[in-house]
Amino acid sequence: MERRAPGGPGAEPLPGLSIAAPHRYLVDRYARACVDRHPCGVDRHARTVTLAYSPAMVLSRGWSLFLLGVGVWTWAIWPRFGVAIYQDPRAWSGDQVGSGSPTAFLWIHALLIGASLAIGTTVGLLGLRGWLSARRRRTATGR
């Protein structure tokens, strides 16, 4: 299956683009003059062009620590907020905390807390992976 570049009907197909790797294509570096550009603005002389997806992303140690801090902060804040919501009289239909059925107030806050913890955990794990990867790169290069 041949894939065509953006640029309208009759646009030149992207050389070397395959279904197995739709995010990059290889071009001949010395084929044409510099004025010869692809309709979407991609320079044809670049060896490899990453369009929208990169399988290898490098995260600096600083950003890794920031993401790890966000994950820790999330787990420090949201569980305490969950306890406060649980103990709020508006969370229960009965007269006392924990009596009666849970109200929409409790359910919506439980959903928000669960989503925030899931996002915070994901961000924290990305930060941890970035930190460990940066540490491995640093050890491998001897710096």
Q: What are phi and psi of 75, to 5 degrees?
A: -75, -20
Cα 28 to chain center, whole Å? Answer: 32
Convert 40-73 to b/e letters by CB count within 10 Å (16 or more is b): eebebeeeeeeeeeeeeeebeeeebeebbeebee
Instruction: Read off the tokens for 121.
Output: 């955990």
pTM of the model: 0.58
List, for residues 23-59, the tens digit of each pLDDT value: 433 333 334 444 445 555 555 555 554 445 556 677 8
Q: Residue 106: what residue type?
A: L
Contact 70, 44 (CB under 8 A): no
Where are the domains positioned within the chain? 1-56, 61-141
